[in-house]
Structure 1
Amino acid sequence: MSVPDQSNSTSGLIGGAAGGAVAYLLGYLVVYVTQGDRIEEVLSGFNFFADLFGGDPIPTWQAAGWAFYNTHFVDTVFQIGGGSSRNLLMEADGGSLLFVLPPLLLVVAGLVAGRAAGASDPTEGARAGAFVLAGYLPLAVIGAFLFRYGGGEIAPDIVTAVLLAGAVYPAVFGAIGGAASSLLSD
């Protein structure tokens, strides 16, 4: 095992953070593009009554955020009508395929971080790949608050959004990608 130098660690951190941010944004974008029409259709009834009674309609981009967090097994919490939590993608036709999206994107981001750090062994690569967390976690925290509707009446579960989607997913899958990057080193 080689001793990592400071420039490789810095490259791994920067590559990991950038990769994590890109993975988060790209993941949300894919969910929005692939599920946006279906989400609009589902929301149309609710939004009709919201408009009729002077309430705020739910924007599609916000509901797509709930679906994106659902791909990380983060439930959407409904405080309206007694309170409940559900994973909307598990109830949707064809939505279950999206569950592979975050792990896939995070493994690729970890792979990029490991390559940027010049990882020559799996441990060094895993360390660099885990830096994906530095870019993914802040966006996951921001998104957990940004995707709240009606003062939190409908929102991703904050605890699992931060811990599972923001920390565990990027650390684990980024490290796997980073470890795999060492297999591609010269």
Structure 2
Amino acid sequence: MSVPDRTSGTSGIVGGAAAGAAAYLLGYLFAYVTQAGAIEDQLAGFNVFAELFGGDPIPTWQAVGWVFYNGHFVETRVPSLVGGSQLTNLISQADGGSLTLLYVVPPVLLVVAGLVASRVAGEREPADGAKNGAFVVAGYLPLAVIGAFLFRHTVREATIAPDLITAVLLAGAVYPAVFGAIGGAGATLLSD
């Protein structure tokens, strides 16, 4: 009679959390490395006016965060000229090019993270692999919530930031759960 291994659940969560955190950080890093120059150029005019009128210029790292969240289909809340705010996706407004790649990077990184989490847990069955792959939420969700607040920029009374609800629910929970589970299940199928 064999004794069930009770440590695999803990290692699955820890491995999933680590893989999820790595996927988030690598995704942002990819967005920063590929888009920072172009975003900085686009912000130059606005930042000159902001400084002229005593406002704070928008840091490039924050604007890259908006685009990173847009890659998860999380819109950016920007002040409206008529008051209030409106939601916009900066990627969909661009002329294509390398920005469109940002829609692909988060799912790919999360599939790989799910695959790694499943391998670390040593799963052999697709359902168990999917469960362990979905544990990437444990690392991705907290960073998605923190990022939604870090990538917030206030101009006078108006704020530019990722939409908080979709940043938490879509980018932080749904994306890692779905794509991590796909990667986790795929890891068990690849090991056979």
TM-score band, normalised by the shorter chain?
Answer: over 0.9
Amino acid at match of 1:97: L
CA shift at 1:80, angstroms? 4.5
Please say if 1:114 is aligned against 2:118: yes
Preserved contact between residue 119 and residue 185 of structure 1 (Cα < 8 Å): no
Amino acid at match of 1:138: P
Which secondary structure state, in structure 2, belongs to the residue aligned with residue 19 of structure 1? Answer: helix
CA shift at 1:9, angstroms? 1.4
Which secondary structure state, in structure 1, belongs to the residue aligned with residue 56 of structure 2? Answer: coil
Which secondary structure state, in structure 2, belongs to the residue aligned with residue 155 of structure 1? Answer: strand
Which of residues 140, 157, 163 is equivalent to 2:163? 157
Preserved contact between residue 118 and residue 185 of structure 1 (Cα < 8 Å): no
Query: After superposition, where does 1:32-181 map in structure 2 within 5 Å?
Result: 32-81=32-81, 82=83, 83-92=85-94, 93-94=96-97, 95-150=99-154, 153-181=159-187
Q: Residue 68 and residue 61 in structure 1: after superposition, are their counterparts in 2 closer, same or farther (change >3 A)?
A: same
Q: Residue 66 and residue 4 in structure 1: after superposition, are their counterparts in 2 closer, same or farther (change >3 A)?
A: farther
Q: Residue 135 and residue 152 in structure 1: after superposition, are their counterparts in 2 closer, same or farther (change >3 A)?
A: farther
Q: Residue 105 and residue 4 in structure 1: after superposition, are their counterparts in 2 closer, same or farther (change >3 A)?
A: farther
1:20-58 deviation line (CA, Å, top 9, x unaligned): 000000000000110001100110010000111111000
Matched residue, 2:21: 21
Measure the CA separation in 2 of the matches of 1:97 and 1:90. Answer: 11
TM-score, normalising length: structure 2: 0.92
User: RMSD between aligned alpha carbons?
Assistant: 1.5
Amino acid at match of 2:138: A
Which secondary structure state, in structure 1, belongs to the residue aligned with residue 55 of structure 2? Answer: coil
CA shift at 1:79, angstroms? 2.5
What is the percent sequence identity of the aligned residues? Answer: 67
TM-score, normalising length: structure 1: 0.95
Provide the aligned length of Structure 1 versus Structure 2. 184
Measure the CA separation in 2 of the matches of 1:134 and 1:44. Answer: 37
Which consecutive residues of structure 1, in runs of 5 or more, have no partner in the other structure?
Answer: none
CA shift at 1:103, angstroms? 0.2
